[in-house]
Amino acid sequence: AVFFWGTSSSFTPYFQMQPIRILFPALALFLVTRYLLDNRTILYYPIHLVGAVALLWNFEIGLPLFFCWLFQLTFLELFAPNVKTAVWNILRHYATGAGCAFLAFSLYAIVIRCAYGSFPNFNLVLLTLKMTSLGAFALPVPLLHPWNFLPLLYLTGLLVGVRCVLRRTPSPQDSLILYCAMWGCATFGYYIGRSHNLNLIAINREFIFLLVLIADRFWQAAHTPVAPPVWRLPHQRLFLAILFYFLVMPFAEMPCALQTWAEVVKSRWTEPQDNQPAPVQDLEFIRKHTQPGERILIFSENNGAYYAETQ
């Protein structure tokens, strides 16, 4: 067996994140947005099914997606006219979610049984969680870092939901803000487990989406004649602090960025460049050091492409 760690270009698709960990969250976010803003109750069961299938697609992303939807429905039931109705509806939501999950797993097991002659081992869906819980691929979390602002914004979104409950004034926009905040808290754990800067970039889509939603909400509140001053609302003060950071930091980082870009441009002009991209060089390396029919094991971000091209 040949063990190979291939280098990858920044433009090469990183399938573990795109589309594996983006497909179902993006679909769920679209459906939940339509459900909340347009009051499309017809999407109730499709969202449950999307969450159930996401458990099979990628468990560590599907699990928070599945429960964020249930928590969102629980939040909406807090505004029911009486406690009995709220409790009954909450139980119905969770029973529906469990039923959809059971249906998805059952159909998947039947299909696998018919296609391959044996039932799937569902314990394998926990394999990644077991490995990461033991510290595999873990990186230490830096103390002072741009990640500090992600939980602050998610806290802002959660405070919006708390404010709705205390004032008994629900709105579709605030419900969507709460959903994005809960989903952001869930995906933030992915960065905490492996605190690499690229992982922070990969999970900031919820942060940006939530930033836009809260900015729009803040703009509406600021232009309401009866709106209280912003310094009286803690979640708006917190949002202003985060927004100020993002407006100021690009200028503060500009000297460092200019120095970095100068070094990159200098290296491009002074160092010889290979016209072939890194994946092509990696494939040539594999073909050169292996024999036809030899079984090899490839460790690389692009292992799927390398396996396909070397069959």
pLDDT tens, residue by residue, 121-171:
998 888 877 877 777 778 888 888 888 888 988 998 999 899 899 988 888
Same domain, 130 and 143: no
Q: Which pLDDT band holds residue 247 (cuts at 50, 70, 90)? A: low
Same domain, 58 and 115: yes
Residue 311 CA to chain centroid, in angstroms?
33
Same domain, 40 and 68: yes
> Quick check: 122 and 105 in contact, CB under 8 A?
yes
CA distance 91 to 97: 10
Q: Say what the pTM is.
A: 0.74
**Residue 133 confidence (pLDDT):** 77
Residue 22 has pLDDT above 90, yes or no: no
Say whether 299 sits in a helix, a strand or coil.
Answer: strand
Out of 206-210, 225-229, 256-260, 288-292, which region has the weakest mean confidence (pLDDT)?
225-229
Same domain, 147 and 244: yes
**Residue 262 confidence (pLDDT):** 76
Does some domain include residue 267?
no
Q: What is the mean pLDDT of the chain?
A: 81
Tally of domains within the chain: 2
Same domain, 1 and 113: yes
Does some domain include residue 163?
yes
Same domain, 118 and 163: no
Say whether 194 sits in a helix, a strand or coil.
Answer: strand
Same domain, 301 and 175: no
Residue 3 has pLDDT above 50, yes or no: no
CA distance 40 to 46: 11
**Residue 10 confidence (pLDDT):** 45
Same domain, 166 and 223: yes
Range of the domain at 63: 1-136+278-311
Does some domain include residue 170?
yes
Does some domain include residue 166?
yes
Out of 21-30, 62-71, 163-172, 290-299, which region has the weakest mean confidence (pLDDT)?
290-299
**Residue 282 confidence (pLDDT):** 79
**Residue 256 confidence (pLDDT):** 64
Q: Which pLDDT band holds residue 116 (cuts at 50, 70, 90)? A: very high
Q: Which pLDDT band holds residue 114 (cuts at 50, 70, 90)? A: very high
Does some domain include residue 50?
yes
Same domain, 49 and 88: yes
Residue 97 has pLDDT above 90, yes or no: yes
pLDDT (mean) for 26-33? 93
Same domain, 116 and 159: no
Does some domain include residue 25?
yes
Query: Angle at CA 10, nearest 5°, toward 5 and 12?
Result: 75
**Residue 4 confidence (pLDDT):** 41
Same domain, 230 and 114: no
Neighbour count for residue 112 (Cβ, 10 Å): 14
Does some domain include residue 84?
yes
**Residue 266 confidence (pLDDT):** 74
Does some domain include residue 144?
yes
> Quick check: 53 and 107 in contact, CB under 8 A?
no
- Which residue, 235, 252, 269, sits at the end of a domain? 252
**Residue 2 confidence (pLDDT):** 44
- Which residue, 201, 217, 252, sits at the end of a domain? 252
- Percent of the chain exceeding pLDDT 70 equals 77
- Which residue, 207, 236, 252, sits at the end of a domain? 252
Residue 218 has pLDDT above 60, yes or no: yes
Same domain, 23 and 115: yes
